[in-house]
């Protein structure tokens, strides 16, 4: 059996069997996947905020539907706000081109517009939540994976010590210390995932709150009542 100074992470990686190293490989894969999600989501959040501010600034504070239309035409569907405007304007245009009988099949105009905007917000919510499931799973599962690796390593270490017939502190501390490294790896994987998950959840709540306010303003501008089908399509402020 190796002496105490021979124990360490290098010895654990070199002497460990597949069962010993499997938790470490799982944690490594989870860590790589989580950091990839963290980087992508952080860049995405920064770009969405910047693009959203640009679109809302183009819309201005005039509260005029024509201004929103011009802003969308110049901006395009690049962010949740502009995509919501796209869905709302398309629904308003559709209603304005239907006869009264056809429009009646869609329900009341304001209810139809509300359904369209609500579905658009739901789609944006699902898009914003993509990747967060992986962070949540890692935050909750990684400590247990590390703990499993530790328990399994301690079991093998105690069996080896029992077979050798030596039970001094120097012979016990080394293998047990190696096994405890797995718990540290589990915590090191779970902590960034936990912090990132909570940060992104908070950022998504703020973004969706702003998006919900914009949806109410857009619904008010659209009015819920389409222009008569016999008249030219012209939206009032």
The secondary structure of 196-225 as a DSSP string is HHHHHHHHHHHHHHHHHHHHHHHHHHHTT-
pLDDT for the residue 160: 67
Residue 67's pLDDT is 77
Reported as a pLDDT band with limits 50, 70 and 90, residue 165 is low
pLDDT at 149 over 70: yes
70 or 231, which is more confident?
A: 70
Between residues 74 and 199, the one the model is more confident about = 199
Where does residue 182 rank: exposed (0-12), middle (13-18), buried (19+ CB within 10 A)?
A: buried
- Integer Cα distance of 150 and 4 in angstroms: 18
Query: Following CA atoms 96, 101, 102, 107 in sequence, which dihedral angle do they give, to the nearest 10 degrees?
Result: 90
Q: The tokens of 121 are what?
A: 């917000």
**pLDDT tens digits, 19-55:** 667 888 889 999 999 999 999 999 998 988 888 888 8
Which band of pLDDT confidence, cut at 50, 70 and 90, is reported for residue 236?
Answer: very low
Contact 68, 89 (CB under 8 A): yes
108 has pLDDT over 90:
no
3-state secondary structure of 171: helix
By percentage, how much of the chain surpasses pLDDT 70? 73
pLDDT of residue 228: 37
The pLDDT score that the predictor gives to residue 234 is 39
- Res. 225 pLDDT band, cuts 50 70 90: very low
Q: What phi, psi does 228 have (nearest 5°)?
A: -55, 145
201 falls in which pLDDT band (50, 70, 90)? Answer: very high
φ, ψ for residue 40, nearest 5 deg: -65, -45
- Higher-confidence residue of 168 and 223: namely 223
Question: Which pLDDT band holds residue 102 (cuts at 50, 70, 90)?
Answer: low
pLDDT value for 92:
80
Mean pLDDT over each residue of the chain, to the nearest integer: 78
Greater confidence (124 vs 180) lies with 124
- Tell me the two tokens of residue 185: 């790896």
Q: Give the span between the Cα atoms of 126 and 130, in whole angstroms.
A: 6
131 in Cβ contact with 110 (< 8 Å): no
pTM of the full structure: 0.74
């Amino acid at each position: 059996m190796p002496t105490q100074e021979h124990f360490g992470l290098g010895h654990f990686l070199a002497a460990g069997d597949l069962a010993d190293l499997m938790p470490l490989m799982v944690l490594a894969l989870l860590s790589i996947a989580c950091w990839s999600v963290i980087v992508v989501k952080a860049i995405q959040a920064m770009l969405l905020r910047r693009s959203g501010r640009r679109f809302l600034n183009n819309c201005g504070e005039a509260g005029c539907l024509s201004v929103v239309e011009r802003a969308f035409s110049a901006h395009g569907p690049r962010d949740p706000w502009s995509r919501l405007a796209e869905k709302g304007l398309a629904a308003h245009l559709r209603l304005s081109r239907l006869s009264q009988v056809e429009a009646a099949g869609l329900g009341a105009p304001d209810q139809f517009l509300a359904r369209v905007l609500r579905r658009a917000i739901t789609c944006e919510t699902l898009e914003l939540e993509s990747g967060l499931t992986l962070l949540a799973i890692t935050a909750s599962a990684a400590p247990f994976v590390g703990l499993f690796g530790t328990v399994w390593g301690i079991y093998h270490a105690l069996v080896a010590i029992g077979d050798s017939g030596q039970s001094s502190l120097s012979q016990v501390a080394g293998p047990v210390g190696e096994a405890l490294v797995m718990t540290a790896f589990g915590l090191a994987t779970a902590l960034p995932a936990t912090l990132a998950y909570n940060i992104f959840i908070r950022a998504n709540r703020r973004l969706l709150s702003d998006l919900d306010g914009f949806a109410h303003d857009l619904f008010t501008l659209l009015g819920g009542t389409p222009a008569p089908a016999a008249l030219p399509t012209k939206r009032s402020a």
